Amino acid sequence: MARVFSGVKPTGHLTLGNYLGAVRRWAAVDQYRADSLFCVVDLHALTVDHDPGRVRRLTRQAATLLLAAGLDPERCTVFVQSQVDEHARLSYLLECVANDGEMRRMIQYKEKAALERERGGSVRLSLLTYPVLMAADILAYGTDVVPVGDDQAQHVELTRDLAVRFNQRYGHTFVVPRAAHPEVAARVMDLQDPTSKMGKSHGGGSGIVYLLDDPDVVRKKIMRAVTDSGDEVVHDPEAKPGVSNLLEILAACEAQKSGAGTGNPEALSGVHKTYGSLKKETAEAVVELLRPVQQRHSELVRDPGYVEEVLRRGAEKARAMARPTVDAAYRAIGL
Ligand code: ADP
């Protein structure tokens, strides 16, 4: 059976994009595969300007939300990246097989670095090397499959390149992983700007639905979503990015509710006569989707000792799983 690894960054509150693109599949499918691991990748939150207390709070919140979304610590390993030293240990070795040109070509680096410069800030070196740390996260566990949204495709491709290169130069050490993207809602777009993705680190914009938003806030954000010219409800991401985004969200919610298939935004196209009815139905579907997650989250925050214990046990297990591969990599490279 394939080993699965994936993670989420505590750079902000988790969004509907994180849930539909990644977390819901981890809970529904991926955790049932052999030895799957899900990680709050807190070291990655330090690549941009950060507040230490906020990162710590968001890390706990993200871990709690993963459990609330249905990850079962009896089935899979849930842990925090910084509690397992092997990630940073391996990252350095991989920096020694990566080159600066390929790092500078990463789309997310280019976008985020441009944003930092626009704000008048400096670009942290770790923003450039972040995909190498992500490669270490994945390769340390002999991962076969990395279930992620579309936006991470290039980083998983880099991970594969680094694994192949290391294996060729220093002997077979790493499993070469592959990415798995959802068929629907692989890239949920910002409701106010449907040409850019809904990202938790994009500030508290009204185009972002957070998993812990109150139902009325969710409704308001979706009802105010930007739609496109014309009035036909069709799934056409190029010509109608706003409407297509809503159709994808609705299709993914319906698939989740019925527990069958991945959802089909094209099939929903003809069903909705107006933009208004599409928005209304999407808003209600998202409220229903989030309700059980929010309920379970509010139960879990009342029991912080439980979450701490899950993370402690998770880190212990992850450490034991990563150490043999990372030790082997140190030996292979000549240390
Ligand atoms: P963010 O961009 O919100 O900081 P992360 O890097 O923490 O996201 O990603 C966590 C997971 O959520 C990844 O698998 C990523 O591909 C997925 N993801 C993030 N944003 C979206 C989105 N808008 N649509 C679909 N998947 C997303």
Give the residue-averaged pLDDT of 315-324.
Answer: 98
Is residue 279 part of the annotated active site? The answer reads no
Could you tell me which residues come within 8 angstroms of residue 297 by beta carbon, excluding any fewer than 6 positions away? 64, 65, 68, 211, 212
Cβ proximity of 234 and 198 under 8 Å: no
Residue 302, exposed/middle/buried by CB under 10 A (0-12, 13-18, 19+)? exposed
- Ligand 1 closest atom vs CA 197: 23
Give the residue-averaged pLDDT of 100-121.
Answer: 92
Give the residue-averaged pLDDT of 55-80.
Answer: 97
Distance 85 CA to ligand 1 centre (A): 24
Give the residue-averaged pLDDT of 4-23.
Answer: 96
Give the residue-averaged pLDDT of 56-75.
Answer: 97
Does residue 241's CB lie within 6 angstroms of at least one atom of ligand 1? no
Interface predicted TM-score of the whole assembly (ipTM), two decimals:
0.98
- Ligand 1 closest atom vs CA 12: 4
Does residue 131's CB lie within 6 angstroms of at least one atom of ligand 1? no
Does residue 25's CB lie within 6 angstroms of at least one atom of ligand 1? no
- Ligand 1 closest atom vs CA 189: 23
Look at 260 and 164; give whichever has higher pLDDT.
164
Q: What is the pLDDT of residues 185-240, one digit of tens each?
A: 999 999 999 999 998 866 667 899 999 999 999 999 999 999 888 888 889 999 99
Confidence of residue 256 (pLDDT cuts 50, 70, 90): confident
Dihedral of the alpha carbons of 4, 9, 13, 19, in degrees to the nearest 10 = -20
Give the residue-averaged pLDDT of 168-180.
Answer: 98
Does residue 209's CB lie within 6 angstroms of at least one atom of ligand 1? no
State residue 12 phi and psi, 5-degree precision.
-175, -175
C-alpha distances in Å from residue 186, one per residue of 106, 108, 147, 161, 274: 19, 16, 10, 23, 25
Ligand-binding annotation for 257, yes or no, is: no
Q: List beta partners, residue 180.
A: 147
Catalytic residue among 200, 221, 240, 317: 200
Is residue 112 part of the annotated active site? The answer reads yes
Strand ranges (DSSP E) for the chain? 5-8, 37-40, 77-80, 145-147, 178-180
Query: What global pTM score does this model have?
Result: 0.95
Mean pLDDT computed over every residue of the chain: 94
Domains of the chain, first to last = 5-181+304-333 (3.40.50.620), 215-299 (1.10.240.10)
The token duo for 191 is: 């409701």
Pocket perturbation via mutation, ligand 1, pick of 4, 5, 13, 18 by most ligand atoms within 8 A of CB:
18
Does residue 11's CB lie within 6 angstroms of at least one atom of ligand 1? yes
